[in-house]
Copies of this chain bind each other. A is one copy, B any other.
Amino acid sequence: MRVRDFSRPTTLNPDRLFGQVAQKLAVAIITGRVKAGELLPNEDDLRSEISVSRTAYREAVKILTAKGLVEARPKSGTRAASRERWNLLDPDVLSWHFEADPNERFIRDLFELRRFVEPSAARLAAQRRTSADIARIEAAYRGMADGAPYAEATIRADMAFHEAIFSAAQNAALQCLASAVIATLQWSLLLKTGDEVAYIESLPDHEHVLLAIIDRDGDLASARMAGLVIDSLNTTLASLGTHYATETGKIMRIKHTK
């Protein structure tokens, strides 16, 4: 349970105390250890676990409030919010999900969203890309092609590839979904680690997307990206099924660096 999102430096500092408390509470909520009831039972527990002042605790709660995980109402208590309230697309919330066991339903939802969004992003990227964008995407692709299948550098390159496409789409709102897309990527990579075949086979697909973007062919870029996402979803769901069938805890996890 020690995976951290290393896509981009998460907004809240995990080195600081309040950040650690926030994460602890968030994971407890996301895993379901705390349902929609009181959250305060942990107040004393946390005090004993890590001696933490009320300040740090409150600031952690404020962070969770801002992300919709809890609802603090004066005098009545601070309750874990129901799932519909969560800002599931918040980068931190997404990354906290990696601390919990894979939730097949949620991963499927994320992939579905990605399936809708990323082809559109690719289309826009094809229409609006600058030469600098091309350079970024191409560099990322080279990183993927050159690196060893599941090396960290390769994974970073993969994420950079997709991020660069979102960036090239020149849409600030769309850009915010890049973290969600990258989260699905990380789930894929986490779950199907070791399946080198799937990885190698996905390389030409990436190249095709790149070429379509270079050609400014929006329709083609969109279609190819859609294919890429669907393939990724299929292999991921297959892996997820396998892992579920064997043992959940054995899923290899990526080490967090930096």
* Number of A interface residues in the complex (CB < 8 A): 46
Min C-beta distance of A222 to chain B, whole Å: 10
Binds B, one of A83-91, A146-154, A186-194, A207-215: A83-91
Q: Residue A220 at the B interface, CB < 8 A?
A: no
Q: A109 to B173, Cβ gap below 8 A? A: yes
Among B71, B86, B113, B173, point to the contact of A106 (Cβ < 8 A). B173
Asked, given contacts A85-B11, A87-B90, whether A173 binds B62 with beta carbons under 8 Å apart, the answer is no
Q: In whole Å, how far is A16's beta carbon from the nearest beta carbon of chain B? A: 8
CB distance from A13 to the nearest CB of B (A): 8
**Are B90 and A90 in contact, with the CB atoms below 8 A?**
yes
Q: Quick one: which of A11, A106, A172, A173 has the most chain B CB within 10 A?
A: A173
Main secondary structure of the interface of A (DSSP, over half): helix
Would you give the 0/1 interface string for A61-90, flagging 1 where the beta carbon is closer than 8 Å to chain B?
Answer: 011011110011110000000011111111
Q: A11-B85, A89-B89 known; A109 and B62 CB under 8 Å?
A: no
Could you say which of B12, B13, B59, B72 contacts A58, with CB atoms under 8 Å apart?
B59
Q: B66–A174 contact, CB under 8 A?
A: no
Q: Nearest CB to that of A71 among chain B residues?
A: B11
- Stretch binding the partner chain, chosen from A134-142, A175-183, A249-257: A175-183
Known interface pairs A71-B11, A87-B90, A87-B91. Does A18 touch B62 (Cβ–Cβ under 8 Å)?
Answer: yes
For residue A92, CB closer than 8 A to chain B, the reply is yes
Tell me if A232 is interfacial: C-beta within 8 Å of chain B. Answer: no
B88 touches A176 (CB 8 A): yes
A-B pairs with lowest CB-CB distance, top 10: A66-B66, A116-B120, A109-B173, A63-B66, A113-B173, A62-B62, A109-B171, A11-B68, A59-B62, A89-B176
Q: Which residues of B sit under 8 angstroms from A18, Cβ to Cβ? A: 62
A116, B115: Cα distance in complex, Å: 11
Residues of B within 8 A of A63 (CB): 62-63, 65-66
The minimal Cβ–Cβ distance linking A114 to chain B, given in whole angstroms, is 9
A198 at the A/B interface (Cβ < 8 Å)? no
Contact with B along A16-34 (1 / 0, CB 8 A): 1010000000000000000
